[in-house]
Structure 1
Amino acid sequence: MEQARILKTAIPGPRSIRLHARERAAVAGGIGVTLPVYVERAAGGIVLDVDGNQLIDFGSGIGVTGVGNAAPRVVDAVREQVGAFTHTCFMVTPYEGYVAVCERLNEVVPGDHEKRSALFNSGAEAVENAIKIARYHTGRSAVVAFDHAFHGRTNLTMALTAKNMPYKHRFGPFAGEVYRAPMAYPYRWPTGPQRCAEEAFAAFTAQVHAQVGEENTAAVIVEPIQGEGGFVVPAPGFLAQVAQWCREHGIVLVADEVQTGFCRTGDWFACVHEAVVPDLVVTAKGIAGGLPLAAVTGRAEVMDAVHPGGLGGTYGGNPVACAAALAAIETMRAEDLCGAARRIEAVMKPRLAALARRFPAVGDVRGRGAMLAVELVEPDTKTPAPGLAAAVSAACHRQGLITLTAGTYGNVLRFLPPLVIGEDLLREGLDILDSAFAAA
Structure 2
Amino acid sequence: MKSDVSFVRHDQIPPSPPPAREAGLIKWLRENLFSTWFNAILTIVSAYLIIKLVIAVYPWFANGVWEGNGLASCVAALEGKTGACFAILAERWNQLLFGISYPSDAYWRPLVAFLLLVPCASPVLFSKLPRNLLVLTLLYPFMAFWLIWGGTILTPIMGLVGFIAGYYAFIEGEKRSGFVLGLVAGVIAAIVVWRVGGMISGAMPNFLAFEAIASRDMGGFMLNMILGTVCVSLSLPLGIALALGRQSSMPIIKGICVVFIEFVRGVPLITLLFVANVVLAYFFPPDANIDLILRVIIMITLFSAAYIAEVIRGGLAALPKGQYEAADSLGLNYSQAMRLIILPQALKISIPGIVNVAVGLFKDTTLVSVISMFDLVGAIRGPILGSATWTGIYWEVFGFAALLFFVVCYGISQYSQWLERQLQTDHR
TM-score bracket, normalised by the shorter chain, equals: under 0.3
Which structure is higher in RCO with an 8 Å CA cutoff and minimum separation 6?
Answer: 1
What TM-score do you get using the length of structure 2 for normalisation? 0.28
Please identify the structure whose Cα radius of gyration is greater. Answer: 2
Larger proportion of helix: 2
Larger proportion of strand: 1
